[in-house]
Amino acid sequence: MCSSDLENPRTGQRGAVTIVFDTVSDLQLGEQIAIDFPGGFDLSVAGVDPATRTPSGSDPRRAAESSGQTLLLEMAAAETKGRYEIVLSDVGNPRTADGPMNIGLRTRRADGQVIDADDAQPLRLSLIGIGKMRVDSVVVQPAHVGAVAAVRLRFRTATALGASDEIVLEFPPGFGTGNAQLARVATPSGVLPALRADSLSGMLILDLAEREEAGDFVLELDRVILPEAAQRDARIVVYSRSSTGALVDQPADNPPGIAVVGQLLLRPGAVLEDALGGLAGVGG
Protein backbone atom coordinates (compact mmCIF):
# COMPACT_ATOMS: atom_id res chain seq x y z
CA MET A 1 0.00 0.00 0.00
CA CYS A 2 1.29 3.48 -0.88
CA SER A 3 -0.10 6.87 0.06
CA SER A 4 0.89 10.50 0.26
CA ASP A 5 -0.66 13.30 2.27
CA LEU A 6 -0.14 17.05 2.71
CA GLU A 7 -0.64 18.44 6.21
CA ASN A 8 -1.59 21.82 4.69
CA PRO A 9 -3.06 21.26 1.22
CA ARG A 10 -3.69 24.89 0.22
CA THR A 11 -1.55 26.46 -2.46
CA GLY A 12 1.23 28.61 -1.03
CA GLN A 13 1.20 26.98 2.41
CA ARG A 14 4.05 25.15 4.14
CA GLY A 15 3.78 22.00 6.21
CA ALA A 16 4.54 18.33 6.55
CA VAL A 17 4.25 15.73 3.79
CA THR A 18 3.70 12.09 4.78
CA ILE A 19 4.63 9.33 2.30
CA VAL A 20 3.88 5.67 3.08
CA PHE A 21 5.33 2.91 0.89
CA ASP A 22 6.78 -0.61 0.88
CA THR A 23 10.20 -1.61 -0.48
CA VAL A 24 10.89 -5.01 -2.05
CA SER A 25 14.66 -4.92 -1.45
CA ASP A 26 16.87 -4.45 1.58
CA LEU A 27 18.85 -1.23 1.90
CA GLN A 28 22.34 -0.90 3.31
CA LEU A 29 23.83 1.86 5.42
CA GLY A 30 24.37 4.90 3.19
CA GLU A 31 21.97 3.81 0.43
CA GLN A 32 19.19 6.23 -0.39
CA ILE A 33 15.52 6.88 -0.98
CA ALA A 34 15.01 9.40 -3.82
CA ILE A 35 11.78 11.42 -3.79
CA ASP A 36 10.98 13.56 -6.85
CA PHE A 37 8.47 16.34 -6.19
CA PRO A 38 6.49 18.17 -8.90
CA GLY A 39 7.62 21.61 -10.02
CA GLY A 40 6.79 24.48 -7.71
CA PHE A 41 7.34 22.65 -4.40
CA ASP A 42 9.97 24.28 -2.21
CA LEU A 43 12.29 21.69 -0.62
CA SER A 44 15.07 24.10 0.35
CA VAL A 45 14.58 23.68 4.09
CA ALA A 46 12.65 20.38 4.12
CA GLY A 47 13.88 17.88 6.69
CA VAL A 48 13.07 14.48 8.18
CA ASP A 49 10.48 14.74 10.96
CA PRO A 50 10.87 12.55 14.08
CA ALA A 51 7.47 11.01 13.30
CA THR A 52 9.19 9.07 10.47
CA ARG A 53 9.09 5.26 10.74
CA THR A 54 11.44 2.73 9.08
CA PRO A 55 11.85 -1.06 9.46
CA SER A 56 14.94 -0.60 11.66
CA GLY A 57 13.53 2.31 13.67
CA SER A 58 16.43 4.56 12.64
CA ASP A 59 15.46 7.78 10.86
CA PRO A 60 17.22 8.51 7.56
CA ARG A 61 18.90 11.89 7.09
CA ARG A 62 18.72 14.38 4.26
CA ALA A 63 21.65 13.84 1.89
CA ALA A 64 23.82 16.81 0.98
CA GLU A 65 23.42 16.11 -2.75
CA SER A 66 19.65 16.77 -2.59
CA SER A 67 18.85 19.49 -5.10
CA GLY A 68 15.98 21.08 -7.03
CA GLN A 69 12.85 18.95 -6.90
CA THR A 70 14.65 15.79 -5.72
CA LEU A 71 15.08 15.01 -2.04
CA LEU A 72 17.58 12.26 -1.20
CA LEU A 73 17.28 10.49 2.15
CA GLU A 74 20.34 8.51 3.26
CA MET A 75 19.92 5.40 5.41
CA ALA A 76 21.40 5.76 8.90
CA ALA A 77 21.28 1.96 9.40
CA ALA A 78 20.81 -1.21 7.36
CA GLU A 79 17.12 -1.66 6.51
CA THR A 80 15.22 -4.81 5.67
CA LYS A 81 12.53 -4.66 3.02
CA GLY A 82 9.18 -3.49 4.35
CA ARG A 83 7.02 -0.55 5.32
CA TYR A 84 8.31 3.03 5.47
CA GLU A 85 6.42 6.06 6.69
CA ILE A 86 8.47 9.10 5.73
CA VAL A 87 7.36 12.42 7.22
CA LEU A 88 9.04 15.48 5.70
CA SER A 89 8.80 18.78 7.56
CA ASP A 90 8.60 22.33 6.20
CA VAL A 91 7.75 21.58 2.57
CA GLY A 92 6.44 24.59 0.66
CA ASN A 93 3.47 24.12 -1.69
CA PRO A 94 3.35 25.69 -5.16
CA ARG A 95 1.53 29.00 -5.60
CA THR A 96 -0.87 27.39 -8.09
CA ALA A 97 -2.36 23.91 -8.43
CA ASP A 98 -1.85 23.61 -12.20
CA GLY A 99 -0.60 20.40 -13.81
CA PRO A 100 -0.08 16.85 -12.47
CA MET A 101 1.04 16.48 -8.86
CA ASN A 102 2.77 13.10 -9.04
CA ILE A 103 5.62 12.05 -6.75
CA GLY A 104 8.46 9.91 -8.08
CA LEU A 105 9.83 7.42 -5.57
CA ARG A 106 12.75 4.97 -5.87
CA THR A 107 15.62 3.52 -3.86
CA ARG A 108 19.21 3.67 -5.04
CA ARG A 109 22.81 3.03 -4.14
CA ALA A 110 25.12 5.89 -3.26
CA ASP A 111 26.45 5.92 -6.85
CA GLY A 112 22.90 6.49 -8.20
CA GLN A 113 22.22 2.91 -9.41
CA VAL A 114 18.52 2.16 -8.93
CA ILE A 115 17.55 -0.66 -6.55
CA ASP A 116 13.72 -0.44 -6.44
CA ALA A 117 12.26 1.58 -9.33
CA ASP A 118 9.14 3.78 -9.34
CA ASP A 119 5.81 1.99 -8.98
CA ALA A 120 3.67 1.92 -12.12
CA GLN A 121 0.96 3.74 -10.16
CA PRO A 122 2.52 7.06 -9.10
CA LEU A 123 1.77 8.71 -5.80
CA ARG A 124 -0.27 11.89 -6.15
CA LEU A 125 -0.47 15.02 -4.04
CA SER A 126 -3.78 16.87 -3.96
CA LEU A 127 -3.66 20.66 -3.72
CA ILE A 128 -6.62 22.95 -3.30
CA GLY A 129 -6.87 26.65 -4.06
CA ILE A 130 -6.94 29.58 -1.68
CA GLY A 131 -9.69 29.43 0.93
CA LYS A 132 -12.16 32.16 1.81
CA MET A 133 -12.89 33.69 5.19
CA ARG A 134 -16.49 33.93 6.42
CA VAL A 135 -17.43 36.85 8.67
CA ASP A 136 -20.65 36.09 10.54
CA SER A 137 -21.12 39.23 12.64
CA VAL A 138 -19.55 42.56 13.57
CA VAL A 139 -20.90 44.55 16.55
CA VAL A 140 -19.62 47.99 17.62
CA GLN A 141 -20.62 49.64 20.94
CA PRO A 142 -21.04 52.58 21.20
CA ALA A 143 -21.35 53.37 17.50
CA HIS A 144 -21.36 57.17 17.34
CA VAL A 145 -18.66 59.28 15.73
CA GLY A 146 -15.48 59.81 17.73
CA ALA A 147 -16.38 57.16 20.32
CA VAL A 148 -13.84 54.91 22.01
CA ALA A 149 -15.59 51.66 21.18
CA ALA A 150 -15.58 47.92 21.72
CA VAL A 151 -15.65 45.82 18.54
CA ARG A 152 -16.84 42.21 18.55
CA LEU A 153 -16.25 39.99 15.50
CA ARG A 154 -17.24 36.41 14.85
CA PHE A 155 -15.61 34.77 11.82
CA ARG A 156 -14.73 31.35 10.45
CA THR A 157 -11.53 30.26 8.70
CA ALA A 158 -11.61 27.80 5.80
CA THR A 159 -8.03 26.55 6.16
CA ALA A 160 -5.91 25.24 9.03
CA LEU A 161 -3.24 27.69 10.18
CA GLY A 162 0.14 26.96 11.71
CA ALA A 163 1.78 28.49 14.75
CA SER A 164 3.24 31.89 13.73
CA ASP A 165 0.70 32.29 10.90
CA GLU A 166 -1.44 35.42 11.09
CA ILE A 167 -5.01 36.68 10.92
CA VAL A 168 -5.20 40.25 9.61
CA LEU A 169 -7.92 42.83 10.34
CA GLU A 170 -8.02 45.84 8.01
CA PHE A 171 -10.21 48.62 9.39
CA PRO A 172 -11.81 51.30 7.17
CA PRO A 173 -10.17 54.73 6.87
CA GLY A 174 -10.68 56.96 9.88
CA PHE A 175 -10.72 54.17 12.49
CA GLY A 176 -8.01 54.42 15.15
CA THR A 177 -6.50 51.05 16.09
CA GLY A 178 -3.08 52.00 17.44
CA ASN A 179 -4.19 51.59 21.08
CA ALA A 180 -6.60 48.69 20.56
CA GLN A 181 -6.48 45.91 23.13
CA LEU A 182 -7.62 42.30 23.04
CA ALA A 183 -10.40 41.94 25.62
CA ARG A 184 -11.47 38.41 24.76
CA VAL A 185 -10.71 35.81 22.11
CA ALA A 186 -11.92 32.28 21.40
CA THR A 187 -10.02 30.04 18.97
CA PRO A 188 -10.48 26.42 17.82
CA SER A 189 -7.41 25.36 19.86
CA GLY A 190 -8.27 27.41 22.93
CA VAL A 191 -4.77 28.97 22.88
CA LEU A 192 -4.67 32.78 22.99
CA PRO A 193 -2.93 34.60 20.13
CA ALA A 194 -1.06 37.87 20.52
CA LEU A 195 -2.39 41.14 19.08
CA ARG A 196 -0.17 43.74 17.48
CA ALA A 197 -0.84 46.89 15.51
CA ASP A 198 0.98 47.69 12.27
CA SER A 199 1.65 51.41 12.60
CA LEU A 200 2.36 51.85 8.89
CA SER A 201 -0.79 50.22 7.50
CA GLY A 202 -3.15 50.65 10.46
CA MET A 203 -3.92 46.91 10.41
CA LEU A 204 -4.40 44.76 13.49
CA ILE A 205 -2.66 41.40 13.34
CA LEU A 206 -3.29 38.27 15.39
CA ASP A 207 -0.08 36.25 15.75
CA LEU A 208 -1.11 32.63 16.32
CA ALA A 209 0.72 30.77 19.08
CA GLU A 210 -0.58 27.31 18.16
CA ARG A 211 -1.79 25.39 15.13
CA GLU A 212 -5.43 26.22 14.52
CA GLU A 213 -7.75 23.92 12.63
CA ALA A 214 -10.29 25.57 10.35
CA GLY A 215 -13.12 26.82 12.51
CA ASP A 216 -14.79 29.62 14.46
CA PHE A 217 -13.04 32.58 16.06
CA VAL A 218 -14.60 35.16 18.37
CA LEU A 219 -12.67 38.36 18.88
CA GLU A 220 -13.47 41.29 21.20
CA LEU A 221 -11.39 44.46 20.94
CA ASP A 222 -11.40 47.45 23.28
CA ARG A 223 -10.19 51.04 22.71
CA VAL A 224 -10.94 51.25 18.99
CA ILE A 225 -11.51 54.90 18.10
CA LEU A 226 -14.33 55.50 15.63
CA PRO A 227 -14.00 58.10 12.84
CA GLU A 228 -15.06 61.72 13.28
CA ALA A 229 -17.45 61.53 10.31
CA ALA A 230 -20.49 59.28 10.04
CA GLN A 231 -20.19 56.18 7.82
CA ARG A 232 -23.15 54.18 6.59
CA ASP A 233 -21.59 50.83 5.61
CA ALA A 234 -18.00 50.58 6.84
CA ARG A 235 -16.47 47.11 6.54
CA ILE A 236 -13.65 45.38 8.38
CA VAL A 237 -11.66 43.15 6.01
CA VAL A 238 -10.47 39.87 7.58
CA TYR A 239 -8.04 37.40 5.99
CA SER A 240 -5.26 35.01 6.98
CA ARG A 241 -1.71 34.64 5.75
CA SER A 242 1.26 32.39 6.40
CA SER A 243 4.33 33.38 8.40
CA THR A 244 6.02 34.10 5.05
CA GLY A 245 3.23 36.50 4.00
CA ALA A 246 1.46 34.18 1.52
CA LEU A 247 -2.33 34.53 1.47
CA VAL A 248 -4.12 31.53 3.02
CA ASP A 249 -7.80 32.50 3.32
CA GLN A 250 -8.86 35.49 1.25
CA PRO A 251 -11.41 38.04 2.54
CA ALA A 252 -15.13 37.29 2.51
CA ASP A 253 -17.03 38.62 -0.50
CA ASN A 254 -19.66 40.57 1.44
CA PRO A 255 -18.89 40.90 5.16
CA PRO A 256 -21.35 42.63 7.51
CA GLY A 257 -21.13 46.40 7.52
CA ILE A 258 -20.82 48.88 10.38
CA ALA A 259 -22.91 52.04 10.72
CA VAL A 260 -21.07 54.86 12.49
CA VAL A 261 -23.77 57.39 13.34
CA GLY A 262 -23.62 61.11 13.98
CA GLN A 263 -24.27 62.60 17.42
CA LEU A 264 -26.18 65.79 18.30
CA LEU A 265 -24.19 67.82 20.79
CA LEU A 266 -25.42 71.03 22.47
CA ARG A 267 -22.79 73.52 23.52
CA PRO A 268 -23.18 75.09 26.98
CA GLY A 269 -25.58 78.06 26.79
CA ALA A 270 -27.11 77.00 23.47
CA VAL A 271 -30.86 77.65 23.12
CA LEU A 272 -33.30 75.92 20.75
CA GLU A 273 -35.67 78.43 19.18
CA ASP A 274 -39.41 77.90 19.57
CA ALA A 275 -40.38 77.53 15.94
CA LEU A 276 -44.08 77.19 16.82
CA GLY A 277 -44.24 80.58 18.56
CA GLY A 278 -46.03 79.00 21.53
CA LEU A 279 -48.95 77.82 19.39
CA ALA A 280 -48.54 74.08 19.84
CA GLY A 281 -51.34 71.99 18.40
CA VAL A 282 -52.79 74.57 16.02
CA GLY A 283 -54.29 72.89 12.94
CA GLY A 284 -54.63 74.25 9.42
Give the DSSP per-residue string, the chain.
--EEEESS-BTT-EEEEEEEEE-SS-B-TT-EEEEEPPTT-B-TT-EE-TT-B-SSSPPPEE-TT-BTTEEEEE-SS-B-SSEEEEEEEEEEPPSS--S--EEEEEEE-TTS-BSSPPPSS-EE---B--EE-EEEEEEEES-BTT-EEEEEEEEE-SS-B-TT-EEEEEPPTT-B-TT-EEEEEE-SS-PPPEEEE-TTT--EEEE-SS-B-S-EEEEEEEEEEPPSS-EEEE--EEEEE-TTS-EEEEPPSSPPPEEEB----PPTT-----TTTT-TT---
Q: What is the pLDDT along the chain (284 residues), one digit of tens a residue?
A: 588 999 888 888 888 999 999 999 999 999 999 999 999 999 999 999 999 999 999 999 999 999 999 999 999 999 999 999 999 999 999 988 777 789 999 999 988 999 999 888 888 898 888 889 999 999 999 999 999 999 999 999 998 898 989 999 999 999 999 999 999 999 999 999 999 998 778 799 999 999 999 999 999 999 999 999 999 999 999 999 988 888 889 999 889 999 999 875 556 665 556 555 555 444 44
pLDDT at 283: 46
pTM for the whole structure: 0.65
pLDDT at 276: 53
pLDDT at 196: 93
